[in-house]
Amino acid sequence: MNRIGQDATHGDRSSVSRRDLLKGLAASAAGALLPTGAMVAQTARPALGPIDVHQHIGGTGGLGGDWSVQRVMDLMGKNGISSVIFSNAGTGDLLYTGDASGRAFARKFNENAAKIVSDHPKIFGFFAAIPFPDSDGSLKEIEYAYDTLKADGIGILSSIGDAYPGNAKFKPSWEEMNRRKAVTFTHPWVPKCCLTLFPEARDSVERDFDTTRAFTNLLYTGTLAAFPDIRYIVNHSGATLPVLAGRIKDRVPGAATTGGKLPTAGITPLTPKGVFYELQKLYYECAHAAYAAPIAALRAFVPTSQLLFGTDFPAEDPSSTVEELKKRNLPPDVLRALYRGNAERLFPRFKV
């Protein structure tokens, strides 16, 4: 497929002038500060609204349920969203088999997503799924996703079977993603270790704790420092990372503060630039975590340049994030960066 050619065919943003851009951004920021429900009357998808980096494909090709591209577009209009980047979610058992079935699952997801994107290239994008435990399969899928399907990045789940993503067996895939300067989107998954301990909590706290474990693991294994050209996106306002970052810092292997008292003392530091440097270079999307406390913690921990917008539809109603964000009274420049300015840096093809 030729996305560039199809962009020209759709041409839905090519004629927008700089003045329209600035007007649109101002309107978008102002709209975010309107009272709840004030934007409901707006049904057409805006050209300069937020770029949603956290959505999933539902229906028979994905999470199931009543899902269609038209329904996504209707919700985008209702909530003032301009573009959506889809990713795989909740299918780790099918994807991370380590055999041919995992490769087939990844291929099917990616080709289905690429078809939706090719039909609406300026509206949609996708993070390709890779069968992570299968190194050769993952390398082949990264190549196919980027070179043939023109994926916008790579999606991984927070835990992979019994391992976290910094495990040495995944190194070839990280090397390749770093070589391609990939944008990676990490989606929460319920870890095997905790699946049965407290099953009622799997969709509330377990997923966010798994995100926290995944990035702590990427930090402690030196993965974040070893692959600096990857642009990593963390889900749900960083889960508990912004709040726990200080405690994580003081326990990282080789941390100066161990003072020889902890068993990890003396190990060569895996984060030569420091823990905060590594965690503050990550990007954080705010899907279903735009409540007062997570946004306050996130803004206290990372600069505005690292904030992204997400909704987690169809797992969550997009209005839950949109309406909560309106209540945060964020300054217009912060909203502009969070809604689309930072995403345009990561995904320049969505730039107006």
Instruction: Enumerate binding residues for Zn ion (CB under 5 A).
Output: 89, 312, 315
Place of tokens 């600069």: 303
Give yes or no for a contact between 233 and 183, defined as CB atoms under 8 angstroms apart: yes
CA-atom Rg of the chain in angstroms = 20
Amino acid at 98: G
Q: Which is nearer to Zn ion, 89 or 117 (CB)?
A: 89
Minimum Å gap between C-beta 296 and Zn ion is 22
3-state helix, strand, coil in the chain (%, to 5): 50, 10, 40
Q: How far is the CB of 204 from Zn ion (least distance, A)?
A: 14
Contact 274, 222 (CB under 8 A): no
> What's the min distance (Å) between Cβ of 342 and Zn ion?
19
Which of residues 73 and 315 has its CB atom nearest to Zn ion in the complex? 315
d(Cα 250, Cα 257) in Å, to the nearest integer? 6
Please, which residue, 176 or 312, has the CB nearer to Zn ion? 312
CB of 249: closest distance to Zn ion in angstroms?
28
Q: Which is nearer to Zn ion, 144 or 309 (CB)?
A: 309
CB-wise, 276 or 291, nearer to Zn ion?
291
User: How many angstroms separate the CA atoms of 92 and 189, rounded?
Assistant: 7
What are the C-alpha distances in Å from 290 to residues 150, 310, 326? 31, 10, 9
CB of 130 to Zn ion, least distance (A): 17
CB of 48 to Zn ion, least distance (A): 25
Shortest distance, position 98 Cβ to Zn ion, whole Å? 23
The sheet with strand 153-157 has its strands ordered as 51-56, 83-87, 124-129, 153-157, 183-187, 231-234, 283-285, 307-308
Q: Which is nearer to Zn ion, 52 or 312 (CB)?
A: 312
Give every CB contact of residue 29 below 8 A, 6+ residues apart in sequence: 332, 335, 336, 339
The conformation of residue 152, written as its DSSP 8-state character, comes to S
Rounded CA separation 281/128 (Å): 22
Closest residue to Zn ion using C-beta atoms: 312
Nearer to Zn ion, 271 or 321 (CB): 321
